[in-house]
Chains A and B, each alone.
Chain A
Amino acid sequence: MTATTVSAARQSAPGWFKNLRMLVSGQEGALTLSLALLVIVVGTANPRFLAQQNISDILLNSSYIAVAAIGMSAVIISGNIDISVGAMIGVLATISGQLSIVPGMPVWISWLVPLIVGPMIGAVTGFLVAYLRIPAIVVSLGMMSILKGGLILATGGVWIYNMPPEYKLAQQSFLGLPVPVYFMLALTILAALWMRYSPSGRAIYAVGGNKEAALLSGISPRVVLMRVFMFNGLMVGISSVLFATQFSSIQSTVPSGLELTIITSAVVGGVSILGGTGTVIGATLATILLRAIGNGMIFINVSAYWLQAVQGTLILVTVLIDLLRRRRQAAQIRG
């Protein structure tokens, strides 16, 4: 309920000043502030953190996670969750890599196929969730299992190497920044615009917020859910291409724990797990923040053994700051 009051306030606050204030006080603002704070603290302690190469690397390594987190945000906003994304990335990256080493295969096909197979897997998940009404956590747990086992069955875990040089999309740079960073930026903006301004995008919030109300206002939750899971599949597909084209060889197993990283990014980004609120911009910022934390902690010599604990604490702090902010805002609006 706090979220609806906030968004109501957002709409009733015209003027650039108020807009700016809202921007700073929104979750995006909180994340930007945390990020700025981190950059200042770590940058002062070790200026090498601020080197262009390091910033570029942080952005590069955030990209594939951020793209997947965009899809995850949509899923979570619709009131669902997808635990199978890590396994999907593993499977799609392997498919892409396998295609790229087929002699005579144009390289764009190996980029395109994951973008088709991804939504197809998403459609299966979506169908089970939307039409057969199986909870998304069950479907995606099952899917994860099927994809993980299936991948090893199919490949025997043999790594893929000798991909043609032109395949390695993620290793290209444009204007000094790696290509995946542009993907991350463009997709974040497009997805944000879609979800905020188009009716089909708004419908996701409606379904996540209140299914009955959505139904009454003429939105079919089933269609919306199908669309959300297929959209997620598409994002995971793009993410997997960025993932696969980054290296000289592809590890054809499922990277363990990847789904947790993606879900954490979406959730820290302010996507309420209860559905109905959040933005993908927050998710992308959160991905960058989490990556910068992981990177920055090494720069300031945090004991490697305590690194995970410090990361966990910082995640908690970020979440708490956001929570207190929301609460204060809600109090202000009420009062």
Chain B
Amino acid sequence: MSKKVFSAILMVALALSVAFVPAVAQDEVRWVGADDLPVSPLECPEGAPGAAMAEEPMEEPEAAALEYNGGQPVGAPDLAGQEIVLVDVPKLIGIGYFNATSLGMQQAAEELGNVKVTTDGPTQGDIVQQVAFIEQYITQGVNGILFAANDPVGISPVLRRALESGIHVVGYDANSEPDAREWFVNQAEFNGIAKAKIDSMVAEIGPEGSFAIVTSSFTAPNQSRWISEMWAYAQKCYPDLKWLETVESAEDQNLAFQQTQTLLNKYGPDMDGVFGMSSVAFPGAADAVAQAGLCSPDDAAADVAAPDEESAVAIVGLSTPNQMRPFVENGCVESVVLWNPVDLGYAAVYVMRAVVDGTLTPESTEVEAGRLGKLQVVNGSEILLGPPFVYTQDNIADFDF
């Protein structure tokens, strides 16, 4: 009998915890991801509501002021001009984005002729597995490691070990702690991406529109940083933008599709736009909007049932051209924000070559990167690829990755 009582109590406790749901319900929108790292929103564009208010010029605490703060390998052999073997360990393999960076690396290796680079990594964006991979390649004894970190702090110990073993380390896409690598090829600053995304969204829904965000996961460092930068930039420049909510979708296109459908149903005409924050979430979100017949009507190419301007939902996000091509071509998506990941991989190999050859030293202010010309050194030990790139109907046909 006591068993019955016991289970009854348990049931009550559980029921209470369910009733407790409203207590944990979000009463206000706030974004606490991204580890409370400082944000630095960029200047507002001409005519933005916030432009006038941004009276004090933001002093930029960056660029030349910062000394080189990267690490250095211990006892690396001098291989200037000789053949080097590199391994590239991206966050995960088997997604369009890192296929593209890998392609760029192969292009650079081919041009240089004295670089061999292979890409290998975990099948899921998992820091634990990524560390294990790098560990193995240290043992195997490569000349250099290129990485895109799943976690900036988590990857650092193993990279330091690589430096200690005389292996050159260059990051791209997602950084580690500065002293755990020599250089980081920065595709675009977080605030630059954030500005490009918010500006693209405002161009479609106006400065008083409302939007929701479909991200991969709240714990994904890059995505979280972008969102907090977007938050800061939107508050500064477009204070009347309505930020509805942010939902997760793992790295799963189907989940992104489902979550977007749910948002569309929840807000109906009160939602004007959706951000797809990852190269997997974006196509999923776009599919949901397209299949709901809510693509923007002002596109000549739109073969979907055109709704009236009122109910159309804009989709803006980060993705690779191939994944978004169907939507851009039928006009459902107007712009895809992304740097060129092929160039990113390409630049990473050139930077590595320059480090090994001794042409890129802590004193350098720029580096020669083949077809990309000279790239600038910023933030002490980062190399900037350039401003983010916006793919539109007019230029998307030129890209295949």
A touching B, CB within 8 angstroms: yes
Q: Which residues of A contact B (CB under 8 A)?
A: 46, 48-49, 51, 53-54, 57, 61, 148-149, 151-152, 155-159, 161-162, 171, 243, 246-249, 251-258, 291, 294-295, 298-307, 310, 313-314, 316-317, 320-321, 324
Question: How many residues on chain B are close to A (CB under 8 Å)?
Answer: 53
Known A253-B94, A305-B218; contact A298-B99, beta-carbon cutoff 8 A: no
Closest to B265 in A: A54
Known A61-B261, A157-B94; contact A320-B11, beta-carbon cutoff 8 A: yes
Distance in Å: Cβ of B332 to nearest Cβ of chain A: 9
Decide if B261 touches A313 in the complex (CB within 8 Å): no
Closest to B94 in A: A157
Tell me, yes or no, whether B231 is within 8 Å of chain A by CB.
no
Tell me, yes or no, whether B327 is within 8 Å of chain A by CB.
yes
Decide if B327 touches A248 in the complex (CB within 8 Å): yes
Known A158-B99, A256-B124; contact A246-B254, beta-carbon cutoff 8 A: yes
Decide if B266 touches A256 in the complex (CB within 8 Å): no
Give chain B interface residues in 282-297, CB to chain A under 8 Å.
Answer: 283-284, 286-287, 290-292
Distance in Å: Cβ of B375 to nearest Cβ of chain A: 28
Q: In the complex, what residues of B have CB within 8 A of residue A320's CB?
A: 7, 10-11, 14
Tell me, yes or no, whether B323 is within 8 Å of chain A by CB.
yes
Decide if B10 touches A57 in the complex (CB within 8 Å): no
Decide if A247 touches B323 in the complex (CB within 8 Å): no
Known A243-B254, A249-B326; contact A299-B14, beta-carbon cutoff 8 A: no
Distance in Å: Cβ of B198 to nearest Cβ of chain A: 20
Known A159-B323, A248-B326, A306-B24; contact A48-B123, beta-carbon cutoff 8 A: no
Q: In the complex, what residues of B have CB within 8 A of residue A294's CB?
A: 258, 262
Top 9 nearest A-B pairs (CB, nearest first) are A157-B94, A54-B265, A248-B326, A152-B94, A303-B26, A251-B253, A57-B261, A306-B24, A61-B258
A235 to B93 CA separation, bound complex (whole angstroms): 29
10 examples of A-B residue contacts, CB within 8 angstroms: A51-B265, A51-B268, A57-B258, A152-B94, A155-B94, A156-B99, A159-B322, A252-B94, A302-B24, A304-B218
Tell me, yes or no, whether B96 is within 8 Å of chain A by CB.
yes
Q: In the complex, what residues of B have CB within 8 A of residue A151's CB?
A: 94
Q: A310-B21, A317-B15 provided; 11 other pairs, C-beta below 8 A?
A: A46-B266, A48-B265, A152-B123, A156-B99, A157-B94, A161-B322, A255-B253, A257-B252, A298-B266, A304-B246, A313-B18
Q: In the complex, what residues of A have CB within 8 A of residue B43's CB?
A: none
Known A152-B93, A256-B252; contact A316-B14, beta-carbon cutoff 8 A: yes
A258 to B124 CA separation, bound complex (whole angstroms): 14
Decide if B262 touches A304 in the complex (CB within 8 Å): no
Q: In the complex, what residues of B have CB within 8 A of residue A247's CB?
A: 253-254, 257, 283-284, 287
Tell me, yes or no, whether B52 is within 8 Å of chain A by CB.
no
Distance in Å: Cβ of B26 to nearest Cβ of chain A: 4
Decide if A48 touches B266 in the complex (CB within 8 Å): yes
A151 to B93 CA separation, bound complex (whole angstroms): 12
Decide if A299 touches B266 in the complex (CB within 8 Å): yes
Closest to B97 in A: A157
Q: In the complex, what residues of B have CB within 8 A of residue A310's CB?
A: 18, 21, 24
